[in-house]
Amino acid sequence: MDLRLTNDEIAFRDEVRAFFAQALPPDIRRKCELGQRISKQEMLRWVRILHDKGWATPSWPIEWGGTGWNAVKQYIFKEELAMAPAPEPISFNMNMIGPTLIAFGSEAQKRHFLPRIARMEHWFCQGFSEPGAGSDLAALRTSAVREGEHYVVNGQKLWTSTAHHADWCFLLVRTDPAAKKQQGITYLLMEMNTPGVTIRPIVTIDGHHETNELFLDNVRIPVAHRVGEENRGWDYAKYLLGHERSGIARVGVSKFRVRRAKQLAAQVLSEGRPLIEDERFRERVAAIEVELKALEITQMRLIAEIGRRDDGKPDPKSSILKMKGSQLQQATAELLLEVAGSAAMEFDPEFVAGARGEAGETDWALTIAPNHYWARHVSIVGGSNEIQRNILAKTVLGL
């Protein structure tokens, strides 16, 4: 298999790279370089720049605002986005609820929601996980009882990322408690300002408020906001999660971190010489780069296979990308932590006078430890790596 880019694909890469160099606001670029979290307004500003270019939803069909790019060009776009570095548009909107509505939503839902999702006039969050129903999502207990033209929903969702920013939530609820746990689940769309919705923040180990608890007390959701058929929500959720895993390897993110680590290691001294000259450090960088190249080749092979099949369905082998991609995201975050060393710690300046040298000299290091902590979760989200092994064993190996 020839995995080299064609001349057309190289020209496309150069076009994307030039656009990011010109259109990405410098303040947002700088925050991404430093590993800082961007605000809601900064995300909206960037997505609308992409939307005006026609690039906010590259994987969608053209009729709903997509680009018509093949899988290789979509991969190139995502890699250049990460390497710019630029914020990745909210996956809940672009890679999850959008494709799910395109596949299973009613025409009225598509016409209403898809343009607003693409421009992020509606910011969606995901109401899947619950206490006791995370990786075992089918064990969810949040109930929905139909009363006329509404469902009355009661329960709790957990780890609801960006719920404090969101206008809408797509959530799974149990509508048939007597059915087997993979059955009797329904997929609903809920406005976050509906009476009975309570958001409680969760501050994670990195010190940020990214995720939340979500409490639902007699929340009334119109039947018109049900996606697809009642009790078929598990099928729709599997479709959504398959799309999420296809892009979750984030090779570009890991490539950027390696590049950044090498740049910083050329400036940081270790035993009187630049860290980049340390043989052990160079060996570690090389080992990660070899694994990254292997992951990239695997992803390109999977892209080629999906392109030949062209049925629009996620490939269960994407679980390989999710597993290895998450491990390398963690490894590259740890590599940056090694470069930062003690500068990644928030010392009390009165206790460790001059630990950082001149003011601002190592401010770049302050986000590295929090981002290292945050990277711990990537082997869990989208289905834990243990779950991915089960999927591969069943669907690929036939065990």
**DSSP assignments along 192-204, one per residue:** TTSTTEEEEEEE-
pLDDT of 307 over the 70 cut:
no
pLDDT in tens, 45-68: 999 999 999 999 999 999 999 999
307's tokens: 């392109």
Give the model's pLDDT for residue 349: 44
244 annotated active-site:
yes
- Residue pLDDT, tens place only, 289-306: 999 999 998 888 887 776
What's the chain's average pLDDT? 89
Q: How many whole angstroms separate alpha carbon 245 and alpha carbon 90?
A: 15
Name the more confident of 346 and 285: 285
Which residues make Cβ contacts (< 8 Å) with residue 95, sequence separation at least 6? 59, 243, 244, 247
356, pLDDT greater than 60: no
Looking at the predicted structure, is the pLDDT value of residue 348 above 70?
Answer: no
35 has a pLDDT exceeding 50: yes
Q: Which of the pair, 4 or 310, is modelled with greater confidence? A: 4
Q: Which residues pair with 143 in a beta bridge?
A: 154, 174
- DSSP-assigned states of every residue in 366-390: GGHHHHHHHGGGGGTTTS-HHHHHH
Q: Of all residues in the chain, what percent carry a pLDDT higher than 90?
A: 67
Q: Which domains does the chain have, with CATH numbers?
A: 7-89 (no CATH), 124-231 (2.40.110.10), 247-346+356-396 (1.20.140.10)
If you average pLDDT over residues 303-318, what whole number do you get?
A: 69
pLDDT value at residue 312: 56
Convert the pLDDT of each residue in 129-179 to its tens digit. 999 888 788 899 999 999 999 999 999 999 999 999 999 999 999 999 999
What is the identity of the amino acid at 48?
A: R
pLDDT at 357: 41
Least confident of 14-18, 102-106, 112-116, 271-275: 271-275
Place of tokens 């995201």: 329
Residue 265: half-sphere exposure toward Cβ, Cα within 13 Å: 21
State the amino acid at position 238 in one-letter form: K
Q: Where are the alpha helices (DSSP H) in 24-139?
A: 26-33, 40-53, 71-83, 91, 98-104, 107-119
Asked if the model's pLDDT at residue 258 lies above 80, the reply is: yes
Tell whether the model's pLDDT for residue 309 goes beyond 70. no
Biggest CA–CA distance in the chain, Å, is 75
Confidence of residue 392 (pLDDT cuts 50, 70, 90): confident
**pLDDT class of 310 with cuts at 50, 70, 90:** low
Selected residue with higher pLDDT from 320 and 110: 110
For residue 221, how far is the Cα from the chain centroid?
27
CA-based nearest residue to 298, from 189, 378, 195, 392: 392
Q: What's the mean pLDDT in 86-93?
A: 94
What is the C-alpha separation between 316 and 147, in angstroms, rounded? 38
In the prediction, which pLDDT does 245 show?
Answer: 54
Query: Is the per-residue pLDDT at 321 higher than 60?
Result: yes
122 neighbors 51 (Cβ within 8 angstroms): no
Query: Which burial class, exposed, middle or buried, applies to 13 when counting CB atoms under 10 A from its CB (0-12, 13-18, 19+)?
Result: middle
Q: How far is residue 129's CA from residue 45's CA, in Å, rounded to a whole number? A: 29
Amino acid 246: pLDDT: 55
- Least confident span in 3-12, 17-26, 111-120: 3-12
- For residue range 194-252, list pLDDT tens digits in order: 999 999 999 998 888 999 999 999 999 999 999 999 999 999 998 887 665 556 688 99
Per-residue pLDDT band for 358 (boundaries 50, 70, 90) equals very low
Distance, CA of 127 to CA of 258 (rounded, Å): 34
CB half-sphere exposure, 384, CA atoms < 13 A: 9
Question: E strand or H helix at 216, and its extent?
Answer: strand 209-222
Q: Contact 371/207 with Cβ under 8 angstroms?
A: no
Classify burial at 359, counting beta carbons within 10 Å of its beta carbon; exposed 0-12, middle 13-18, buried 19 or more.
exposed
Residue 353 confidence (pLDDT): 38
Question: Which residue in the list 88, 244, 296, 338 is annotated as catalytic?
Answer: 244
Residue 234: enclosing H or E segment and its boundaries?
helix 233-246
Per-residue model confidence (pLDDT) at position 351: 38
| Closest to 321 in 3D by CA, of 391, 221, 371, 236 | 391
Identify which of 345, 362, 331, 372 has the alpha carbon closest to the alpha carbon of residue 269.
Answer: 362
Looking at residue 223, its pLDDT comes to 98
